[in-house]
Amino acid sequence: MQESPFKGKTGLRRLMNALGYSLQGMGSALRHEEAFRQEALLALVLVPTAFVVHVEAVARALMISSVVLVLVVELLNSAVEAAVDRISLENHRLAKRAKDIGSAAVFLSLINVAVVWALILFG
């Protein structure tokens, strides 16, 4: 098995490339994914709110990490959807299953936000 020709960079150059690819991915998600934009707006409201409410540092960390988890899961879901669409745009039960499972993961991460915030704020 042959390694990818894109795997040749090491050290600081690899880190700089990885940062660039990550920023391109975030930009792409913001430009092309409505769900990611909506969840990013939610994060722009909830993360500062977590700093305003009077809770312990660990609770604040849980509140923020639950919101960040939604963004991470949405990025992964969008990547799965893009890869599936790249392979074929035809309706196929496995493509539908992949997309539905990704959507379910986003849904569970949003439920997680609601549960974490409710438990912390309302005990």
Domain ranges of the chain: 1-32, 34-122
Name all contacts of 4-8 with Cβ < 8 Å and 24+ positions apart.
none
Place of tokens 């660990």: 58
Report the SS3 class of residue 21: helix
Calculate ∠ Cα 29-34-36, nearest 5°: 50
Say which amino acid occupies 80.
Answer: V
Q: Is the pLDDT of residue 3 over 80?
A: no
Q: Is 74 a catalytic residue?
A: yes
pLDDT digits (tens, 9 = 90+) for 11-39: 899 999 999 999 999 999 999 999 999 99
Label residue 16 left, alpha or beta by phi (over 0 means left) and psi (-120 to 50 means alpha).
alpha
- Six token digits for residue 9: 């960079």
From the candidates 3, 39, 74, 81, give the one annotated as an active-site residue.
Answer: 74
Structural class in CATH, domain 34-122: mainly alpha
C-alpha dist (Å) from residue 79 to 52, 72, 73: 33, 11, 10
Q: What is the pLDDT of residues 72-97, one digit of tens each?
A: 999 999 999 999 999 999 999 999 99
pLDDT at 6: 65
Cα R_g (the chain), whole angstroms: 18
**Model pTM?**
0.90
CB atoms within 10 A of CB 69: 16
